Amino acid sequence: MRHIISVLLENESGALARLVGLFAQRGYNIDSLTVAPTEDATLSRLTLVTHGNDQVIEQITKQLHKLIEVVKLTDLNDAPHLERELMLIKVKASGATRDEVKRCADIFRGQIIDVTASTYTVQLVGTSDKLDAFIQALAGTAILEVVRSGVSGIARGEKTLAL
């Protein structure tokens, strides 16, 4: 099953390498990974999408906890949560497809953020599923480039992952 794990990590050199190395070393999957500093400069917030059975996910969270630089972590799937991913997608937009891409972007509430005579670059935010669906919807169009940020997630309600 797919799980989104959020981690507060000491913002120190080598911490990220240690965390990623753990996944390689123990044969766990990383489907996506995003990391950036938080409002507290000493901490990084990392969101990791992985998959595995319950036993594997339990080992992943336990092994992550063991890393000295991991301050706190949570499996967002344990409770209601929000997830978002950002995609920048550059597509061929000439002739009849030019309108088609624009319509499609509107339907998905995407924004065209760069335009040339023959291309559109669309920005789209949503769940990974929605981003996948947009790519599917553009199946008839020549996709030139896709950049996805990986998932960021946060718990719904008052629950927080903070110090």
Partner 1 sequence: MTSQTKQTEMLSGAAMVIRALADEGVEYLYGYPGGAVLHIYDALFQQTKVKHVLVRHEQAATHMADAYARASGKAGVVLVTSGPGATNAVTGIATAYMDSIPMVVLTGQVMSHLIGDDAFQETDMLGISRPICKHNMSVRRPQDIPAIIKKAFYIAQSGRPGPVVIDIPKDMTIPSQTFAYHYPSEVKLRSYQPKLKGHSGQIKKAVTALLAAKKPILYAGGGVIMGGASHELTELAQLLNLPVTNTLMGLGCYPASDKQFIGMLGMHGSFEANQTMHHADLILAVGARFDDRVTNNTKKFCPDATIIHIDIDPASISKTINAHIPIVGLVQPVLTEMLELLKQKKKKLDASAMKKWWQQIEEWRAVHGGRYDDAAPLLKPQYVIEQLSKITHGNAYVCSDVGQHQMFAAQYYGFNKPNRWINSGGLGTMGFGLPAAMGVKLNYPDADVVCVTGEGSIQMNIQELSTCKQYGLGVKIINLNNGYLGMVKQWQDMNYESRYASSYMDSLPDFVKLAEAYGHVGIRVTEPEQLIPALERAFALKDRLVFLDIHIDPKEHVYPMQIPGGSMNDMFLSKTERT
Q: Contact residues for partner 1 (CB under 8 A)?
A: 10, 13-14, 17-18, 21-22, 25, 55, 58-59, 62-63, 65-66, 68-71, 163
In the complex, minimum distance from the CB of residue 60 to partner 1, in angstroms, rounded to a whole number: 10
CA distance 12 to 70: 11
Alpha-helix residue ranges (DSSP H) falling in the chain? 15-26, 54-66, 96-107, 128-137
In the complex, minimum distance from the CB of residue 155 to partner 1, in angstroms, rounded to a whole number: 20
Nearest to 153 by CA among 118, 132, 127: 127
In the complex, minimum distance from the CB of residue 79 to partner 1, in angstroms, rounded to a whole number: 21
Closest to partner 1 by CB, 2 or 65 = 65
Closest to partner 1 by CB, 70 or 93 = 70
CA distance 83 to 31: 14
